[in-house]
Amino acid sequence: MPEIVLEAQVGRATGSRESRRLRREGLVPGTIYGHGTDPVSVAVNARDLRTALSGDAGTNALLSLQAGSATYLTLARELQRHPVKGSVTHIDFLIVRRDEVISAEVPINLVGEALEVQHGDGMIEQQLFTLPVRALPMDIPNAVELDITELTIGASLRVADIALPDAVSVDTDPETTVVVGQPPRVEAAPAEGEAAAEGEAATIGEAAPREGEAAASSDGEG
């Protein structure tokens, strides 16, 4: 995974008022922390940050922060977002080392076609969408893939069925279900009492004379 260089301004003032000013100027306030270092308050360009995190690696992109005279290898963590706009309003950068195994969440992509499920009018239900993995920062995959070609109705595929790169291990139970082949949905038949009531109503409707017929019958009797 290549490193993305990101410029970070150091020495920013803290506090909500100062943070609002930075955002108006197109900057995102943040903090660099980890590995026993004192937290460093920084600000990064919002557009550059958005570009850095919009690649295939997402928030697992390795960020080389150029903060003054220091350079930090980091991962983006604890993103705070605007409740309406969705833009990042604050970000924490976790310092990592190239030779240190770390944890990360990666998306699970389903590949292949479960033809037996589709031909049987079943449904493919994905129950797990991300997978916690452990690897060196450079070995964190952008995503992991699960082949559903052999999935059948009533069967399931587990974490253990995901093909992982050699340098990657999982932080979850291998028996955890990822995807299930659900049977076709069947509309529920009406209950016995409801069916009987409907039949009775239909019989009464057929037996009752129409208004014109009733009038004709009355005239004939006179």
Domain boundaries, the chain: 3-96, 100-216
Q: Mean pLDDT lowest for which of 43-52, 102-111, 173-182, 183-192?
A: 183-192
Q: In 3D, which of 156, 157, 158, 161 has the Cα closest to residue 183? A: 156
> pTM above the 0.75 mark?
no
Report the pLDDT value the prediction gives residue 33, as an integer from 0 to 100. 94
Q: Is the pLDDT of residue 197 over 60?
A: no
How many Å apart are CA 115 and CA 72, to the nearest integer? 48
Residue 162 Rama label (left phi>0; alpha psi -120 to 50; beta): beta
Interatomic CA distance for residues 89 and 61, integer angstroms: 19
Q: Which two tokens stand for residue 182?
A: 């659900």
Average confidence score pLDDT of the chain: 85
pLDDT at 222 over 70: no
CATH class of 100-216: mainly beta
What is the rounded CA–CA span in Å between residue 152 and residue 167?
Answer: 31
How far does the chain reach from its first CA to its final CA, in angstroms?
A: 100
- What is the mean predicted confidence (pLDDT) over 183-191? 69
Any bridge partners for residue 95, and if so which?
74
Predicted confidence (pLDDT) at residue 85 exceeds the cutoff of 60: yes
- Strand 88-95 with 27-34, pairing: parallel
pLDDT at 1 over 70: no
Q: Percent of the chain, pLDDT > 70?
A: 83
CA distance 57 to 39: 25
Q: What whole-number distance in Å separates Cα of residue 199 and Cα of residue 212?
A: 25
Residues 29-56: pLDDT tens digits? 999 999 888 899 999 999 999 999 998 8
- For the four alpha carbons of 115, 116, 122 and 126, in that order, the dihedral sign comes to negative
The listed CATH number (3.40.50.720, 3.40.190.10, 2.40.240.10, 3.40.50.2000) that belongs to domain 3-96: 2.40.240.10
**pLDDT-derived band at 20, boundaries 50, 70, 90:** confident
